[in-house]
Amino acid sequence: MQKTNTFYKNYELIDLGDFKKLESFSGMVVERPCPQASSKRSLPDSVWEEADAVFDGKDWRFNDVKVQEGWLTKIDTATVELKPSSGGQLGIFPEQAANWKWIRDAVKEQGRAIKVFNGFAYTGLSTLFTSAPNSSVCHLDASKTSVTWAKKNAELSGLGSNDIRWIVDDVMTFLTREYKRGVKYDGVILDPPAFGRGKDGKTWSLKKNLGELLELCGLVLSPKPAFFVISCHDQTMSPRDLSKTLNTVSKGFRGRVESFEMLIQSSNGSSLKSGICARMKVS
């Protein structure tokens, strides 16, 4: 298990329980549903009632108009915009903080120029920490709204002129085309959903399509790759399951696959399980 909120110092998991979580993002307090929070709350109702925004599973309720309009948060060297969106999302997954640091360090350690593919890239946090003088990044998501949001985050972080390719497309379709074109990547970052449906009617199932996805990634990996990171939030999968799947891609490369549960440490000392991750850095 790996606690993942130390890199994002402007975030706090204030409390959790009764299938809800109370979080602070740069001072804005948000209450949202959380199926994993099956324990009792530690803090009194009076603390929870001070939330600036509450998502009840269907709709948002705002006690501070600033939250409704969106606000900025700082994550190490990056500046990103947060705003309430459908499904209770804000544009950030704090449990990924340890991966952002790991990716940034992996890129810095390379004594060469590298090309990185970031699929299911959402609002671009991993892209921001991948983008560097020695890297070019292909940022891909099926949602045009998310890619537009990611581009704004890059501009807010001073990376707007960096070598980042912004793509709105289906991951499997795009990777198939890249393979046929002979394009190779030195690093791969993936955070696929458990289920999804594209505008063209195509459906995505992690259980059904993960093997095919990683096979395609293996086909576009360069002969000397730098790293591979995959995370997900499918509660039917274990870190070991993800590690075994990634091992099918990493065979032949010098590097060890590590896997773990992503945890967020709350202010009261309890931990919230927030998905699983497997990653490999090639030596």
Domain ranges of the chain: 2-88, 94-281
Q: 267: burial class by Cβ within 10 Å (0-12, 13-18, 19+)? A: middle
What is the second-level CATH architecture of the domain 94-281?
3-Layer(aba) Sandwich (3.40)
Partners of 136 in beta bridges: 115
The answer on pLDDT for 5 being more than 60 is no
- pLDDT one-digit tens code per residue, 18-72: 999 999 999 999 999 999 999 999 999 999 999 999 999 999 999 999 999 999 9
Name the CATH superfamily for 2-88: Golgi alpha-mannosidase II (2.60.40.1180)
Q: Would you mind telling me the total number of residues written for the chain in this entry? A: 283
Question: Strand order in 2-3's β-sheet?
Answer: 2-3, 257-265, 271-281, 227-232, 187-190, 114-119, 135-141, 164-168
Q: Which residue has the higher pLDDT, 118 or 249?
A: 118
Using a pLDDT cut of 90, give the percent of the chain over it.
Answer: 81
Residue 221 · residue 249 · CB < 8 Å: yes
